[in-house]
Amino acid sequence: MRIGQWGGVAALIACATLSAAAQQFKSGTVGVRVDVLVTNGQQLVRGLQASDFELRDEGVLQALTQVDVEEIPLNLILVFDTSGSMAGQRMRALLDASGSLLDGLRERDRVALLSFSSRVRLLAPLTPSRQQIRGALAMLTARGATSLRDAAFAGLALREADPGRTLLLIFSDGADTSSWLKAPAVLESARRTDAVVYGIGIAVPQYSTSVQRSPNGAGTRREVMWMVRDAGKFLQSLTEETGGRVLFANSNQDLRATFRQTLSEFRDRYVLSYSPSGVSANGWHQISVKLKAKSGTVTARRGYFAE
């Protein structure tokens, strides 16, 4: 652990602690807002109404209203892997995909950019300026290790207390090799915000050039594959907590389409709101969302903290 990296993580922990109250769900008159994705196989299910859903808070049926998502500005927090494995064609593909993603945003949307390798760097806070984000993207360079969990925590801490919807898009091409934070701490932070996390990776396995060799000269490929699976397990857990998904590009060239798919899918999600009734005013609330009669798979966050 480098001193500089530890200082950055400590600052992020302080930031998240100070902003926790603003990030938490609020119950009562403010109400609870839940992002919901409905799919049937590989297809999105559109055209549903609030009356098509059944939402239970701590097992208690709630009265729903459906929010028109077109009227809610988007806070897009980009969290990008810039470790050494991103050098060359992959970094060029990431920059191209990012530019296409920015082109798909609306005027009122805001964007932030975090990069992570051995350290986590905030290159641009939430801003409506596309020029500022493009300038920050131009600064990305690939080197160092991978602090995936630290970066995810930092991205969650950027969620602000405004009425917008927050999409945290995390791109990484490999395993976490240098984070200070452990997965449970990051998942706990995710439970305390209403941000929806999407993870994006590369489907083709990538093997480290620094693979250790056994006495007979064979490479420890199995160990590297375990590390990649471990990183994927963390992203899967993080997205499940927040109601998001993990998507994979089949190649560097597919990153642009995968980024655009993520934005399009997020805009097609339903936003259900309700004022909690018949449940406690404080603590962890487990929620469940399902369709009453129509066919489809519902993906939503697992619950929220109220205070």
Give the mean pLDDT per block of 10 residues along the chain (307 residues): 39 44 44 93 90 96 81 93 94 96 95 97 97 97 95 94 90 89 95 94 61 50 51 87 92 92 94 93 94 94 90
Q: Report residue 199 as tokens.
A: 């993870």
Backbone φ and ψ of 306, nearest 5°: -115, 150
* CA–CA separation, 102 and 109 (whole Å): 10
Q: In degrees, to the nearest 5, what angle opens at C-alpha 149 toward C-alphas 144 and 152?
A: 105
Beta strands 43-44 and 303-306, pairing class? unpaired
Checking 24-28 for CB contacts under 8 A at 24+ apart, the result is 24/192, 24/193, 24/304, 24/305, 24/306, 24/307, 25/194, 25/304, 25/305, 25/306, 26/306, 26/307, 27/275, 27/276, 27/279, 27/281, 27/285, 27/306, 28/275, 28/276, 28/281
The alpha carbon dihedral of 204, 209, 210, 216 has a sign of: positive
* CA–CA separation, 91 and 97 (whole Å): 10
SS3 at position 51:
helix
Q: Which CATH number fits domain 73-267: 3.40.50.410, 3.40.50.300, 3.40.640.10, 3.40.50.2000?
A: 3.40.50.410
Radius of gyration of the chain (CA): 20
Burial grade of 11 (CB within 10 A; 0-12, 13-18, 19 or more): middle
The alpha carbon dihedral of 256, 41, 302, 61 has a sign of: positive
pLDDT the model gives residue 4? 37
* CA–CA separation, 302 and 307 (whole Å): 17
* CA–CA separation, 175 and 23 (whole Å): 28
In the chain, CATH 3.40.50.410 sits at 73-267
* CA–CA separation, 28 and 10 (whole Å): 34
pLDDT the model gives residue 126? 96
Q: Report residue 269 as tokens.
A: 């999600």
Q: Report residue 296 as tokens.
A: 């489809």
128: enclosing H helix or E strand: none
pLDDT the model gives residue 27? 40
Q: For residue 299, which amino acid is it? A: T
Beta bridge partner(s), residue 274: 32
The pTM assigned to this predicted structure is 0.84
